[in-house]
């Protein structure tokens, strides 16, 4: 994957260094240091893919010659601790091909350095990464003095501003990401510190979790695990050369210790992430099962409620039908349907004005009607034994008979029963 690396340092005589030697090593060529009368030959050095000098339009032609350029820099600097050149080292995205990398590097150097008045001596190297893949990177040596006519003028102290370095770091990340996007790659690099990147991703993770964006949250969690590491110290060319010969160095030990700690962080973080995923899946399965059971229960409850509603509505409809039928028949609701005993009979109230006319038509008078009613009641009443004298008198009065007749008949029956007893 693409990684971000941009570092800046100063090549100084205070460290016993020479700009001519540095240029020869980075370009993989042979240069002669006229001030020290030394020849630096790195023509057999492998891994140098490209080297060239880029200069402003007002630079003289001879400054495009590497040997003459850096010897002129050595000649103009008189102090024993003089700062000779500034070196920018950047990691090139290995996803890009060589031509695209060179185009990317040239555009960045032209805009950020040459257009400001610096002369840039750039070289592209191809190393071997720890994962066995390629490790393309570039070295850019920059002059530190202004150009005046046919030579160098004063040093531009503005090129040493910390804000300028931060701008270079951000610009390189922006240019590299654009190149990756144009070529169709999803990888991106970031110029910020690991802590700043991790904080931003953690905030994005919280927003994704709050919004319920599960896929985005998982991607953020993975990114947090990747960023949860400490910066690995740089070994440096001298220590790296010793390490290649099997000599253990202090820088090498510090580098390997940081690698081991980062590996443990990554393993522990990844295990936690896998455990969270497993628990999340189990919770989802449990919720799904519970939801299905609740749906089934609700279905049964809904069916029962439907049956109850249908029953209530049926009873209401029957009640309404009974009410309508009772209204038609002139009955009250709740009254029995049994007919009264006198249904079908003629009912005559005492206040009926047509009663006299009806009796005349039927050929009966009031006394005979009363007698007939009394006779009916007598027949309907239970007869247990002989009626009381008062009852016999009342009957005789109703029948138009005298008490004497009743007494005589009664005496005759008594005599008959007495005769029978005698017999």
Which residue ranges make up each domain of the chain? 1-190, 192-228, 235-329
The pTM assigned to this predicted structure is 0.62
**Token output for 165:** 């370095």
Angstrom distance (rounded) from CA 90 to CA 3: 10
At 2 the pLDDT is: 72
At 396 the pLDDT is: 65
Q: Where are the alpha helices (DSSP H) in 113-249?
A: 162-182, 194-211, 214-227, 237-244
Task: Give the number of other Cβ atoms within 10 Å of residue 124's Cβ.
Answer: 22
Angstrom distance (rounded) from CA 252 to CA 234: 9
Quick: pLDDT tens for 62-107. Answer: 999 999 999 999 999 999 999 999 999 999 999 999 999 999 999 9
What is the CATH architecture assignment of 1-190? 2-Layer Sandwich (3.30)
At 404 the pLDDT is: 46
Angstrom distance (rounded) from CA 291 to CA 298: 10
Q: Is there a contact between 12 and 85 (Cβ–Cβ < 8 Å)?
A: no
At 384 the pLDDT is: 47
User: Phi and psi at residue 204, in whole multiples of 5°?
Assistant: -65, -35
Task: Give the number of other Cβ atoms within 10 Å of residue 219's Cβ.
Answer: 15
Task: Give the number of other Cβ atoms within 10 Å of residue 66's Cβ.
Answer: 20
Residues of the chain with pLDDT under 50: 333-334, 336-348, 383-385, 402-423
Angstrom distance (rounded) from CA 279 to CA 268: 17
Angstrom distance (rounded) from CA 367 to CA 298: 80
At 355 the pLDDT is: 64
Quick: pLDDT tens for 107-123. Answer: 999 999 999 999 999 99
């Amino acid at each position: 994957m693409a990684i971000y690396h941009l570092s800046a340092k100063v090549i100084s005589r205070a460290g016993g260094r020479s700009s001519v030697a540095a240029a020869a090593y980075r370009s993989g060529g042979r240069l002669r240091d006229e001030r020290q009368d030394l020849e630096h030959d790195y023509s057999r050095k492998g891994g140098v893919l490209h080297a060239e000098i880029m200069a402003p339009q007002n630079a003289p032609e001879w400054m495009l010659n590497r040997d003459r350029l850096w010897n002129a820099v050595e000649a103009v600097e008189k102090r024993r601790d003089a700062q000779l050149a500034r070196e920018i080292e950047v990691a090139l995205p290995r996803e890009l091909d060589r031509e695209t990398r060179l185009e990317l590097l040239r555009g960045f150097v032209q805009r950020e350095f040459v257009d400001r008045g610096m002369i840039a001596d750039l070289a592209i190297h191809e190393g071997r990464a720890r994962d066995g893949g390629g490790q393309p990177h570039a070295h850019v040596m920059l002059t530190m003095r202004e150009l005046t006519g046919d030579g160098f003028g004063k040093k531009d102290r503005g090129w040493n501003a910390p804000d300028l370095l931060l701008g270079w770091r951000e610009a390189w990340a922006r240019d590299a990401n654009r190149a990756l996007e144009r070529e169709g790659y999803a990888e991106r690099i970031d110029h910020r510190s690991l802590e700043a990147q991790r904080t931003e991703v953690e905030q994005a993770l919280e927003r994704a979790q709050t919004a319920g964006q599960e896929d985005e949250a998982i991607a953020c969690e993975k990114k947090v695990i990747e960023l949860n590491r400490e910066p690995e110290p740089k070994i440096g060319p001298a220590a790296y050369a010793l390490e290649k010969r099997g000599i253990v160095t202090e820088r090498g030990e510090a580098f390997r210790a940081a690698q081991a700690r980062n590996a443990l962080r990554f393993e522990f973080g990844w295990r936690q992430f896998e455990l969270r995923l497993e628990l999340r899946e189990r919770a989802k399965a449990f919720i799904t099962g519970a939801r299905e059971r609740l749906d089934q229960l609700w279905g049964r409850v809904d069916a029962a409620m439907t049956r109850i509603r249908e029953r209530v509505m049926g009873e209401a409809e029957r009640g309404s039908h009974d009410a309508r039928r009772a209204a038609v028949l002139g009955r009250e609701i709740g009254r029995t349907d049994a007919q009264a005993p006198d249904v079908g009979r003629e009912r005559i109230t005492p206040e009926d004005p047509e009663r006299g006319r009806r009796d005349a038509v039927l050929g009966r008078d009031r006394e005979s009607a009363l007698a007939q009613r009394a006779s009916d009641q007598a027949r309907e009443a239970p007869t247990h034994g002989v009626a009381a004298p008062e009852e016999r008198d009342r009957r005789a009065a109703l029948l138009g008979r005298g008490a004497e007749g009743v007494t005589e008949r009664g005496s005759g029956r008594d005599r008959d029963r007495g005769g029978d007893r005698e017999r």
